[in-house]
Amino acid sequence: MTERKSLIVGISGCSSCGKTTLARILRDVFPNTFILHQDDFYKEEKDLPKKNGLLDWDCAGAIDVPGMAESLAYIRQNAAFPPHLESKEDQNSIGECPVSDSAIAALKSSVDSSIPADHPLRTGALSLCLLDGFLLYPPSMSPIHPYLDIKIFLRTTYEKAKMRRERRDGYVTIEGFWSDPPGYVDKIVWPNYVEEHAWMFENGDVERDFKEDALAKENIRVEKGLDADRDLESTLNWAADVVLDGLKKSQV
């Protein structure tokens, strides 16, 4: 295994596709695991770009990308947040968990039986960092790519993303609190998602088939055999298998 103390697992997809919920469950299922949120690297509101007359929180220009890359480098070697980093994202509500307690308990039991007692993840020699972010794999985020050991991508439909996003109260920010203005999903969130991720899909249609060669080139893992609407419980089990596979390969 290469010299590192933390294996970094990217969990990405459109805003409101279930990334944070998935990350929080995986954190509880796997030992020695913590979450890093891309949202903790937002620039100050005064430095955000604008689009269609609105502040644009959903683009690479809103993120301190070099700072994010530096933090990932630190986490890889220290298995902890840099001293200056304080997460705000866990203060945000994500609603009721759609996965039952019994399903989570069953998965935890399965994962426990799959990781030997002498595995570095159990002995403390290795940790898992789950990086939850709406924008991780496109070229605009290339400075962080060398630090991503496992790449998971979740898909969703426009209808579901819009419904979930508009149900949210808002987000804790450096300045205080942000609530989406009317029309924000249609003017900012969805167009930005399509623009940044079209390269992953046939004919640029983010609700249709993936480009298998593009995924293979970037080593991005997606749940196969499903349309854009997914059941989070099945996705959870699939994602756990992806992480377990990554843990095995990291010791080769």
User: Can you give the pLDDT of all 252 residues of the chain as single tens digits?
Assistant: 345 699 999 999 999 898 999 999 999 999 999 999 999 999 998 999 999 999 999 999 999 999 999 999 999 999 999 998 877 655 544 556 778 999 999 999 999 999 999 999 999 999 999 999 999 999 999 999 999 999 999 999 999 999 988 887 665 555 566 678 899 999 999 999 999 999 999 999 999 999 999 999 999 999 987 666 678 889 999 999 999 999 988 764
Q: What DSSP state is assigned to residue 62? A: G
Domain boundaries, the chain: 6-249
Pairing, β 50-51 against β 54-55: antiparallel
The catalytic residue positions are 39
Q: For position 35, what pLDDT does the model report?
A: 94
Q: How many Å apart are CA 41 and CA 36, to the nearest integer?
A: 10
Looking at residue 112, what is its pLDDT? 96
Q: Which CATH superfamily is domain 6-249 in?
A: P-loop containing nucleotide triphosphate hydrolases (3.40.50.300)
What pairing do the DSSP bridges indicate for beta strands 150-154 and 6-13? parallel
Handedness of CA 182, 23, 250, 238 (dihedral sign): negative
- Alpha helix (H) residue ranges in 15-87: 19-29, 65-78
Look at the pTM and tell me if it is higher than 0.75.
yes
Neighbouring C-alpha atoms within 13 Å toward the C-beta of 89: 20
Structure confidence at residue 98 (pLDDT): 78
Element holding 239 (H helix, E strand): helix 232-249
Between CA 194 and CA 95 the distance in angstroms is 25
Helical spans, DSSP H, in 48-180: 65-78, 101-114, 120-123, 158-167
Helix ranges restricted to H, 13-123: 19-29, 65-78, 101-114, 120-123
pLDDT score, position 78: 93
The predicted structure's pLDDT at residue 141? 98
